[in-house]
Structure 1
């Protein structure tokens, strides 16, 4: 490992007198929380307990009016310093894009397998506290409001049917299956309330009745929503998975917070995929000690190595926590200034079984720490550390947890908007950048762990090509016609060493969530460009540690805004 100089934990930044721009940003966050109470759960704020956003067309219009009012305030307010300039530029960019997406009808076709209201209405329960009976009362109240949230969402999708703006049939079919699962007697809602206890003591009988009634109401609502999808939306859904260049360009800008040349990015993705493949082939030969060894053979060799195996979810959770704790402790002494509050990271097994791994940030006051979640598919009981070491660094430190934790910590300098905003390109790009950084620092010197990192990086490069290829209708790399869903699945199978059910889910995700998947690798590319630009500007005075601190202190912004801020 390199750069072993020691440093003390960071001190709280000096306070800054809030400005008029800060006030506009704070009011916008308050407006978001008022109109979307789920945000209060994410932020750990009191208020709106048990309530939902209004997912109906009327609710969308109220949000649009609030966006336009905030834009008018921003236009009428002048920044007084560099922090203000960043806030005004980024919040304006974000809100104007929301208006563009509304005018393009994004909300009318907002149904996909991973990140639409169909999932969000359920997923908010994953973050709700369960440590007191009062917390379970809030859960009971929100369970009772699931039906209203889905009814409003149904109204919006019906308006999409009326206007001829609908999602692809593939997404509708998959979401029907998800919703039927939630509605089942052994589905999420019944499992949630079945485990209700506080400190090992069952909740009161009265609260138990409220929870049971809420679970029944929520499950019934999801069953009825599935019926709507099957009988009304499916017949109106479009066959084509690709959304076309116009909608894709908006989505790409949204997820990156930057405008990129999509055609150049597609070609770069092909070159990056070839580079990742070559790196994998080289490390595979090293693992096997065979100049003719293949990637598949190296993977089989690692999968048979019992020293790299974890047994059961308890073993997985303990391993995640230990690896994360060690990374925080060591990097906090040698490579990063990590405040005490940010050093708390909980690794948990998620209550769902989707197969995803994700991070949720700390509450604004750090009373709820940042958390790394692993959603283990049903029946999976064995895990390979070589595949997942880099995942812990991606989700934890120096990845998402460091980035989001630092932004949350900098409340003396940054308004609430700057601490909670950002884009997939900013967040996921940083996390991939962090993976490569850990390799450079020697934390992935084990050839198996490095192959695991390269496996993930290759997947991210492959989906840059796939996502742009499908949605823009580009020529396939093999020259045999245009991209479509069948070729996308074949392409991912050739580039990803994972269970086929996972690959199918991933491809469906890309098809239904245009622009998001490439934001990881494209975001990494932009982060690396920003570092290289800073190195060129500063010459011999350049410090990578100072660059990281300065970049993370900017908080959550789009990548174009970040570039402007670092060059200022």
Structure 2
């Protein structure tokens, strides 16, 4: 039985399918408060920004309880089996995240609610048409959204003190300091006011835009003050969440329960194996001395075959490589919808120095975007180490997976547009990096060294994330002599073994500490994808093809990796 269902158009489905009717009701309730849900239903009058206040978060928690009860009331075989499995797992896990305190206390350096507000304006432009009116209205909604975030953090603190959560109600000091510094810089740099204003935008709209940007900056400064003066004195100094809470958070991030101890051992095995592989690759590339991998990397960084100078050159290379990869995988490893070519490549000066993907919104009003950030004042890059980032964020990674799911009209709108699971998405994207090598998209040993270094990076994520949050010791190994985890040990592993820049290594470790379990989504998620593929291939023997597996697996749509495996192997 294939995961891709050839049903008629989504319109009257809920009349005949009880699970779809439940999902319809769930999304309709979300749509009153969340723009993505409104867009998923085809509505153009949804909220300007997502409601992130405590009243809605509590209401959503209750809505999820009612949704689970409605699913439980159905006969065992009733309705869409795939949607039922996906919806049940995600609603249960989101309630679990709330119960730990993670949802309401979230302060982190990567994807806290205020980051999501900012990301919703990424690439936005003030245009000469009516769209500029809604953009200004959205910008004017930023202060209210930031106020809701502050209200939620206050509420979470009070609930934590009352013992409501299995974890704490306030994020650690390290995360508060990190976010406060980021938000302060956004206001100082006038980030919202720096959005592109196209020629022809009239003076009134420009003035409204400028005033709205100033209001957003004022709200950002207010958030900075709240974080430092109000929340920080209540914050714990310990970073780790503890073994029991960590297991719950990892399950929520992956959409699957794992043996954390076994995963910790797997991470160490992979870290040692990949380090040996990098050393073998380095020597033919010119690596010498006590650290041949770094020596080879220094040579490659200055090699004109791999060096890009200037933002335009980086953008052109990124765009070309993405579209060449689309051509290479189409019709061989995947059946791709035409919309996969609708992707915008952006190069943005930023202190982050990372590559990331923002999907097209449910209404398709903007394309998916691959954003390559480079440190300000350093418009240069070495491609040999970034090819895997292109495959991870673009094709066959995030962009391909997102477009295939959004194009699958056999999926309920909730699953197509709103079911976001780190293990599914990041696990797929890391699987895609390795798949790219299987498909011959890694063109030489220099790019392969970049691939292996990226895998080392993700292996460090496993051991550091588990060790820092559980307090487990460092086992005997061939790489470091330390026996206890500290943030500095984790940073040193990233710098010395994955060749991560020191500033990025600091950001990375702070990220792990603020988002417990999310770091497993990459390499552990890919492990679960590979395990499912291997089991599926073993059932089919010589009849197995990658194209068939990808059609089947992606045809089920986004869901937790636990139910995905069960559905894949049920026959």
Give 2:138's aligned residue: 142
Equivalent position to 1:191, from 179, 191, 194:
194
Contact between 2:415 and 2:557, CA under 8 Å: does it hold in 1? yes
1:44 Cα deviation from its structure 2 partner: 8.1
What's the secondary structure of 1:359's corresponding residue?
Answer: strand
Contact between 2:32 and 2:47, CA under 8 Å: does it hold in 1? no
Deviations 1:183-235 (A, max 9, x none): 22x3202212xx322xx32x222212211111111100110111111111111
1:244 Cα deviation from its structure 2 partner: 0.9
Cα gap change, 1:513/1:354 in structure 2, threshold over 3 Å: closer, same or farther? same
Cα gap change, 1:289/1:190 in structure 2, threshold over 3 Å: closer, same or farther? closer
Give 1:321's aligned residue: 319
What's the secondary structure of 1:260's corresponding residue?
Answer: coil
Cα gap change, 1:59/1:307 in structure 2, threshold over 3 Å: closer, same or farther? same
1:491 Cα deviation from its structure 2 partner: 2.5
- Aligned pair count? 549
Cα gap change, 1:151/1:316 in structure 2, threshold over 3 Å: closer, same or farther? same
Structure 1: 5+ residue stretches without partners: 1-10
Contact between 2:19 and 2:84, CA under 8 Å: does it hold in 1? yes
Contact between 1:13 and 1:410, CA under 8 Å: does it hold in 2? no
For 1:292 and 1:487, locate their aligned partners in 2 and report how far apart those are by CA, in whole Å.
20
What's the secondary structure of 2:473's corresponding residue?
Answer: coil
Equivalent position to 1:567, from 555, 566, 569:
569
For 1:127 and 1:41, locate their aligned partners in 2 and report how far apart those are by CA, in whole Å.
19
What's the secondary structure of 1:374's corresponding residue?
Answer: strand
TM-score (norm 1): 0.91
Give 1:229's aligned residue: 227
Give 1:74's aligned residue: 71
Deviations 1:93-152 (A, max 9, x none): 111222222222223421111111131222211165655532222222122222221222
Superposition map of 1:240-251 within 5 A: 240-251=238-249
Residue 536 of structure 1 pairs with residue 550 of structure 2: no
Equivalent position to 2:558, from 552, 556, 561:
556
For 2:175 and 2:236, locate their aligned partners in 1 and report how far apart those are by CA, in whole Å.
10
Contact between 1:241 and 1:485, CA under 8 Å: does it hold in 2? no
1:59 Cα deviation from its structure 2 partner: 2.0
Residue 166 of structure 1 pairs with residue 192 of structure 2: no
What's the secondary structure of 1:516's corresponding residue?
Answer: coil
For 1:498 and 1:485, locate their aligned partners in 2 and report how far apart those are by CA, in whole Å.
15
Give 1:6's aligned residue: none
Deviates more, 1:503-512 or 1:541-550: 541-550
For 1:77 and 1:130, locate their aligned partners in 2 and report how far apart those are by CA, in whole Å.
49
Cα gap change, 1:364/1:221 in structure 2, threshold over 3 Å: closer, same or farther? closer
Contact between 2:349 and 2:376, CA under 8 Å: does it hold in 1? no
1:52 Cα deviation from its structure 2 partner: 3.5
Give 1:362's aligned residue: 360
Give 2:23's aligned residue: 25
Equivalent position to 1:344, from 339, 342, 345:
342
Deviates more, 1:28-37 or 1:436-445: 28-37
For 1:436 and 1:398, locate their aligned partners in 2 and report how far apart those are by CA, in whole Å.
10
Contact between 1:429 and 1:519, CA under 8 Å: does it hold in 2? yes
Deviates more, 1:324-333 or 1:554-563: 324-333
Q: Compute the RMSD of aligned alpha carbons.
A: 2.4
Superposition map of 1:77-476 within 5 A: 77-78=74-75, 84-126=80-122, 128=124, 130-131=126-127, 133-162=129-158, 163-164=160-161, 165-184=169-188, 186-192=189-195, 195-197=196-198, 200-201=199-200, 203-288=201-286, 294-350=292-348, 353-364=351-362, 366=364, 368-411=366-409, 413-420=410-417, 421-476=419-474
Contact between 2:190 and 2:213, CA under 8 Å: does it hold in 1? no
Cα gap change, 1:65/1:289 in structure 2, threshold over 3 Å: closer, same or farther? closer
For 2:89 and 2:272, locate their aligned partners in 1 and report how far apart those are by CA, in whole Å.
34
Deviates more, 1:543-552 or 1:339-348: 339-348
Deviations 1:533-557 (A, max 9, x none): 0121112222222111111111101
TM-score (norm 2): 0.91
1:476 Cα deviation from its structure 2 partner: 2.2
What's the secondary structure of 2:344's corresponding residue?
Answer: strand
